[in-house]
Homo-oligomer: A and B are copies of this chain.
Amino acid sequence: VALVAQVTVVGTGLIGTSTALALVKCGVVVRLTDRDPAALEHAVRLGAGGPLTGEDGPADLVVLAVPPAAVAPVLRQAQQARMGYHYTDVAGVKAPIVEAARRLGCDLSTFVPGHPMAGGEQPGPGAARADLFVGRAWALCPERVTSIRSVEVVRAVIELVGAVACDLTAEAHDAAAALISHLPHVVSSALAARLSDADPIALRLAGNGIRDVTRVAAGDVALWLDVLAHNAGPVTAAIEDLIEDLRGAVRDLRAGGSEALASVLRRGNDGRCRLLSESARPDDHHGAAR
């Protein structure tokens, strides 16, 4: 018997609907719910599953694809309604969510905090893709109290959608996410912000470099404010380290020196090399899966 026959997805945004589409493709029965009836209807129309009804029994897994601030209260509600046997979420921060769930009295033994390392600038079900997670890392942050069975069920779902499960503590996740996702988002936005009142001639000259560097700046403002506020400590520390490097660059450029600036550029070369050699290479996996 398969570990996962029926899944309920709460929140039919980009991540929730993409998860649902991938699971439907694998023959899983998927039920959907969203507080926005239009988003729910859109996801149903896309073939991501049927709407959740009062008749549906508990799902094998409930995927909470809601913004960080909503995860703990929605988990509490879902557990009280016996919506499923096991639960996971997909929010970009983990430790504060676990803490909030504990404070609200959620059952942490059936909740596996998770975070797929995939996304896109366009929010909503319309941007969803069944192959969004293929070859991507999917962080899992089980606590000591998390049941082994719950972790097994979530792992099975991660495998079904084609992602690669990656276990780490909630704290390690949040520090890593600050570095590879939250800091880049803030900085990319600050770069793109310079273009909001730039001379049109500058935009006409723009090439691929500035396009790549500012791509993530198109992300949803409200969602990102929520994510950043939930990971304020690690993000603040990362921004301040970066400001220190930028200050060194400014000092050098003013004084005609190059020591600090050269160090930033050289460490930039190194960091880029490490990223390409040690990260999951989602494109390779994607290519192989085609």
Q: Which residues in A have some Cβ–Cβ distance to B below 8 Å?
A: 117-119, 136-137, 139, 166, 168, 172-173, 175-177, 179-181, 183-196, 198-219, 221, 224-225, 228-229, 232, 235-236, 238-243, 245-247, 249-250, 253-254, 256, 258, 261-262, 264-276, 278-280, 282
Given contacts A117-B206, A137-B205, 6 further A-B contacts (CB under 8 A): A186-B261, A206-B280, A213-B213, A217-B272, A221-B262, A225-B261
Q: How far is the CB of A63 from chain B (nearest CB, A)?
A: 19
Q: How far is the CB of A185 from chain B (nearest CB, A)?
A: 7
Copies of this chain, whole number? 2
A246: chain B residues at CB < 8 Å are 186-187, 190, 239, 242-243
Check A279 against B117 for contact (C-beta < 8 Å).
no
Q: How far is the CB of A30 from chain B (nearest CB, A)?
A: 24
Q: Is the CB of A179 within 8 A of B207?
A: no
Bound Cα distance from A193 to B249, whole angstroms: 13
Main secondary structure of the interface of A (DSSP, over half): helix
Asked, given contacts A136-B207, A213-B184, A261-B228, whether A196 binds B267 with beta carbons under 8 Å apart, the answer is: yes
**How far, in whole Å, are A143 and B136 apart by their CA atoms in the complex?**
52
Contacts of A202 in B (CB 8 A): 175-176, 179-180
